[in-house]
Amino acid sequence: MKERIITGLLAAILYLGFCLAGGYAYQAFLLAMALVGYYEFVTMTKAAPFGAPAVIGYISVAYMLFPWTLMDLTPPLSVDHMIWVVMLLLLSVTVISKNRLDIKLMAMMFIGAFYVGMGFTYIADTRQAPDGHGLFWTFMLLCSIWASDIGAYFTGKTLGRNKLWPSISPNKTIEGAIGGIFFAMVAAVVFSLVSPTLLPLWNALLIGLAAAVVGQMGDLIQSAYKRIYNIKDSGKLLPGHGGILDRCDSWLMVFPFVHILMLMPFQ
């Protein structure tokens, strides 16, 4: 537990430092996190970490996290066009390799690239919010996610009786999940009280609810993948915590979700 706490504090300080800096430094830091996260995903699936399919994935992730907006550039390919190109390249690998690298592997590489790449892209976009309050929105979402995690853990420990999804994550309880929702909504409401003109109460409640429900689903999704491949952690980068995907599984779902549903008033 001591190792877990120390690692968590150091990682939080490092991340928040880059987040406060913003700009190219933050974008580069997120790119590094995304590439490590994709590496973890590739190795989790038992694929060659630097084989042709993985390299296509790394390039795709880097393309999504490239600072186009900061450099006032228009990407040569839109997201939907890039998705098609990546799909074509990966499917072509199955032909070139004469099915030695089969379509199941290509499907996993494809999913992993956009699961990781799009998730971190929306995290970066939040910090670059056009209303000039990107730091506020980033911290609000992160605090809501962390409040959900902490609330679910302690509520589950003290009140948990009924298992939430034992075949996927045997320690999670329904009571813990409800506690996570409550604490996430409280955290979001606090941000609304601090800046009611920026974040109306109704939006705060919806964002808190989304952060908890979608964040917990992101956690369960990662647990499901790890259970299929019979591994405990996605990586070993963070002692006591696992890898990037272990720590950011909720982020990768929550940030895109609130953007797509346009839950933040600046959208």
Q: What is the DSSP letter of 164?
A: E
- Is 132 buried (19+), middle (13-18) or exposed (0-12) by CB count in 10 A? exposed
User: What's the CA gap between 50 and 99, in Å, rounded?
Assistant: 18
Tens digit of each residue's pLDDT, the chain (267 residues) = 677 778 878 988 999 999 999 999 999 999 999 999 999 999 999 999 999 999 999 999 999 999 999 999 999 999 899 999 999 999 999 999 999 999 999 999 999 999 999 999 999 999 999 888 999 999 999 999 999 999 999 999 999 999 998 889 888 999 999 999 999 999 999 999 999 999 999 999 999 999 999 999 999 999 998 888 888 888 888 877 789 999 999 999 999 999 999 888 766
Beta bridge partners of residue 165, listed in sequence order: 169
Closest listed residue to residue 189, CA positions, set 174, 205, 165, 173? 205
- Is 78 buried (19+), middle (13-18) or exposed (0-12) by CB count in 10 A? exposed
C-alpha neighbours within 13 Å on the C-beta side of residue 211: 35
Which tokens sit at 203? 């939006």
pTM listed for this prediction? 0.93
